[in-house]
Amino acid sequence: MSKRVTLIRGDGIGPEIMEATLRVIGALDVDIEWDEQQAGAGAFEKLGTPLPEETLASIAETGVALKGPLETPIGAGFRSVNVAIRKHFDLYGNVRPSRAIPGVNTRFSDLDLDLVVIRENTEGAYIGIEHTIPPNRSAAESIILVTRHGSERICKFAFEYARRHNRDKVTLIHKANILKETSGLFLEVGRQVANRYDDIEYDEVIVDAMCMKLVTNPEQYDVIVSTNLFGDILSDLTSGLVGGLGVTPGANIGENCAMFEAVHGTAPDIAGQGKANPTAIMMAAVMMLEHLDYDAEAQRMREATHKVVGRGEEVTGDLGGSASTEEFTDAVLRELGA
């Protein structure tokens, strides 16, 4: 039976990298029915809203979305279309794998890294409740919200993710020595959840020490789980270990919905020129295929893409090559034997 997925091509380079991805998925042995919807600046121009009701209704129905980068039009009423989608569907888990691509030269190339940062996406320091205090903005205050429910579901998600992806260890990152109540509650709940997973190793590291350890001995980590702010910072750090944001995918997961995307933005400086690198969105599609239980085909797509990127001959300008988006995609399709 075919699986329905909401497709949002997005703004800027979105349509180009999404077309490339659809060509590659089209060469796999998967049965996906795309429900194409609009969002972002393009939707705003055509339909007067950056996030049409039809788009939300489609994601609610399919439960899975592959989304290109979106430009949030200025003056459209909310901060970011991406944030609005995350809020609407309560996508509480942000998943950012950082996997070394053989052949891509980084400072850590010899380590064959394969880390995943799982970040709580709905609370913590990013709830946006802050204010300044008069006179003359002499001080500013912000609220960090950590709930037992929010901590429980993200920690449980991290352990379930580890099980589902045959990973051995979950490391919880906190700052409970200073933030005794907020980070303390997260740690307390994390320990309780860890006790329920005897098959997965568990450890905990204070966030500042973790930054040091990640740039000295990153190979000792596997799945990393943390609150919103720490997870945000750590996931950029781990992206940097394996080649940067250009090759990094991300997923936002809720109880009933999952949205897969590249971490980068719309790249307006190169949009429409056929120069964009589709690797990150292709890796997001790989995550989506795994989510849909197409594990073997996901693996084929990852290996084919990694081979082309690692060889370095048919890659786009951002990776030091001169290939167009289309030439890169042709090379991936050749790797797949298509």
- Closer residue to ligand NAD, CB minimum distance, 41 or 173: 41
Collapsed DSSP state (helix, strand, coil) of residue 253: strand
Instruction: Indicate which residue of 221, 232, 275, 294 is catalytic.
Output: 232
Q: Integer distance in angstroms from the first to the last C-alpha of the chain? A: 23
Residue 110 annotated among the catalytic residues of the structure: no
Instruction: Indicate which residue of 67, 156, 175, 275 is catalytic.
Output: 175
- Closer residue to ligand NAD, CB minimum distance, 240 or 265: 265
Residue 213 annotated among the catalytic residues of the structure: no
Residue showing the smallest CB distance to ligand NAD in the complex: 265
- Closer residue to ligand NAD, CB minimum distance, 120 or 261: 261
Nearest of 156, 169, 155, 158 to residue 199 by alpha carbon: 169
For helices 325-335 and 295-311, give the axis angle rounded to 10 degrees.
120
- Residue 274: CB minimum distance to ligand NAD, A: 11
- Residue 282: CB minimum distance to ligand NAD, A: 10
- Output the six-digit token pair for 101: 């691509």
- Output the six-digit token pair for 307: 């081979």
- Closer residue to ligand NAD, CB minimum distance, 170 or 257: 257
- Between CA 252 and CA 165 the distance in angstroms is 17
User: Which of 62-92 are b and which e, b meaning 16 or more Cβ less than 10 Å from the residue's Cβ?
Assistant: bbbbbbbbbbbbeebeeeebbebbbeebebb
- Residue 13: CB minimum distance to ligand NAD, A: 6
Instruction: Indicate which residue of 31, 112, 168, 208 is catalytic.
Output: 208
- Residue 201: CB minimum distance to ligand NAD, A: 32
- Output the six-digit token pair for 106: 């980084």
Residue numbers of the site for ligand NAD (CB under 6 A)? Answer: 13, 17, 69-72, 82, 246, 261, 264-270, 276-277, 280, 316, 318
Instruction: Indicate which residue of 126, 161, 202, 294 is catalytic.
Output: 126
- Output the six-digit token pair for 138: 């002499």
- Output the six-digit token pair for 290: 């795994």
* Catalytic center residues: 126, 175, 208, 232
